[in-house]
Structure 1
Amino acid sequence: MNRSQLIAQIEYKSSFLCVGLDPDLDKIPAHLKSEPDPIFSFCKEIVEETADYAVAYKPNIAFFEALGPKGWESLQKVLDIIPKEIFTIADAKRGDIGNTSKLYAKAFFESMDFDSITVAPYMGADSVTPFLEFENKWVILLALTSNAGSQDFQTIEDGHCKPLFHSVIEKSQEWGSPENMMYVVGATRGELIGEVRTLAPDHFFLVPGVGAQGGSLAEVARYGMNANCSLLVNSSRGIIYASNGKDFAKAARNEAKKLQEEMSVLLEKHRK
């Protein structure tokens, strides 16, 4: 999917919602556990009920690969039922030396046909650029994450008082462009989202941390939205585990709808 197609989806749905698919066998409703493929059954119902409101889905690869070969089969089945006009993100956080990265890219972009993949930048250009060689595919580079340990490295300042995440964003723009590179920017750091937007005015941001992690959607929009929106705000647990009963998919739909309605208001306000 190219940039203009993604922007068109945001406009069409008045939404910048990304639904994270983190199917934990210990958390999915009990009645699904007797299904031949409980992980797929869970994700299928979530997708069917939330697709009206989502412009992206983000399967967390760990929840699938932890199940071995069957998990990879489930992942492909989930990918196959996501509507083609909806952006797909392999939340895999890959990043290795060049030849290895190239094979990771082929796995997720050619074999599985994801639109994008999350990539760790720590090993530098040769670990990232192989992912950028695929037309209409995206790298989503870890820049400023919302986990507690992010400050161990990401905010360390160099001799010029520049934090490391600034250097990552500045340097990586030599590798990719707003047409094929996004940044992960955590929702729990409002004012820092503004710093990232200043450094990367035209790039899309994938923003986790709204919902269960406590991030404010209004604050994300305030600091991060640009003329084309250029935000994908992810909610995982707050949507997919809104209920653990037989009504889980309807509950997920309701939570997705609430977020989409708030996003619609924020988009309209931004246009004025």
Structure 2
Amino acid sequence: MTSREIFEQIKKKQSFLCVGLDSDVNKIPRFLYDTTDPVFAFNKEIIDATHDLTVAYKPNLAFYESMGVSGWNTLEKTVNYIRYNYPDIFIIADAKRGDIGNTSNLYAKAFFDAMDFDAVTVAPYMGEDSVKPFLTYVGKYVILLALTSNKGASDFQYVKENDERLFEKVINTSKDWGTEENMMYVVGATRAEMLQDIRKIAPKHFLLVPGVGAQGGSLAEVARNGMNEQCGLLVNSSRGIIFAGDGEDFAQKARAAATEVQQEMASLLKEGSLL
């Protein structure tokens, strides 16, 4: 999927929402436990209820890996369900992988060949040779961790050397490894004021922005500081949407929460003259 195709979906749906499928088996509605695959049943209902409001889904792999083989089967069924029913939706593996070249090559094969994700999140700490194998897949994206929204981000990401913070060095260095057609960056919504600095370095890349919703990030601030001529943003909300309700109407509650975000996004897109 090209950046232009992503932007066309954004304009069509008047949304740059990414719904995070952080489907914790301990938090899904209890009545789903009677099904053969409770997490898949949950995901399916969430996807059917929100597909027209979102341009991307992002399963966080920890919630699936923690269940062993059955979790991997659930993940595969979830990806296949989206691919078959809603093929225009961008699917991100929130895996945060990053290892030496041979291992990264196999991670890339797992997520892009075996699982057919469009993108995978990758940690940059081991450098270029740990990222390059992911970039050999045409039409697929590396989403490199740059500036995260967690408390511990300040331990390393803001360390400055020669007037350059570490997260800036990550973007400055890595943007030469690929292009805006195969690389994106993770930038936390709780650091929205930093988006202007990031846009000076990477003006055309799409940014995956977690931290809106339950984590308290401001969608309006993210848009005003980070939007570019193709929107350039995929703003993720997980718990605030998928766990908006815990009864038999959980999917309707999720849709209502997603609709609220989508409507704000539509206003922000119009404010940015993108609609």
Tell me if TM exceeds 0.5: yes
- Match of 1:109, SS state, is helix
CA-based RMSD: 0.8
- Deviations, residues 133-184 of structure 1 (Å, cap 9, x unaligned): 00000000000000000110000011x1211000000000110110110000
Aligned partner letter, 1:69:
V
Q: Report the Cα distance in structure 2 between the residues aligned to 1:148 and 1:32, rounded to whole angstroms.
A: 34
DSSP 3-state at the match of 2:272: helix
For 1:64, give the aligned amino acid. Y
Query: Counterparts of 1:145 and 1:194 in 2: how far apart (Å)?
Result: 15
Measured against aligned partners, the alpha-carbon deviations of 1:178-234 in whole angstroms (never above 9, x if no partner) come to 011000000001211111111100000000000000000000001000111010000
What is aligned with 2:121? Answer: 118
**Aligned counterparts of 1:180 and 1:234: Cα–Cα separation in 2:** 19
Deviation beyond 3 Å, 4+ runs, structure 1? none
How far did 1:81 drift? 1.3
Normalising by structure 2, we get a TM-score of 0.97
Matching residue of 2:234:
232
Aligned residue for 1:168, secondary structure, equals: helix
Partner of 2:97: 94
Number of the residue aligned with 1:255: 257
Mapped contact 2:4–2:230 kept (Cα < 8 A): no
- Residue of structure 1 equivalent to 2:28: 28
Structure 1: how far apart are the matches of 2:273 and 2:218? 20
Match of 2:148 among 145, 151, 156: 145
Unmatched tracts of structure 1, length 5 or more: none
Distance in 1 between the 2:229 and 2:201 partners? 15
SS at match of 2:268: helix
Task: Give secondary structure in 2 for the equivalent of 1:117.
Answer: strand
User: Distance between the aligned counterparts of 2:60 and 2:44, measured in 1?
Assistant: 15
Number of aligned residue pairs: give it.
271
Q: Determine if the alignment matches structure 1 residue 52 to structure 2 residue 52.
A: yes
Alignment gaps of 5+ in structure 2: none
Indicate the residue corresponding to 1:186 in structure 2.
188
Task: Determine the C-alpha separation between the residues in 2 that align with 1:163 and 1:236.
Answer: 29
Question: What letter corresponds to residue 16 of structure 1 in structure 2?
Answer: F
Q: Could you tell me the TM-score, scaled by structure 1's length?
A: 0.98
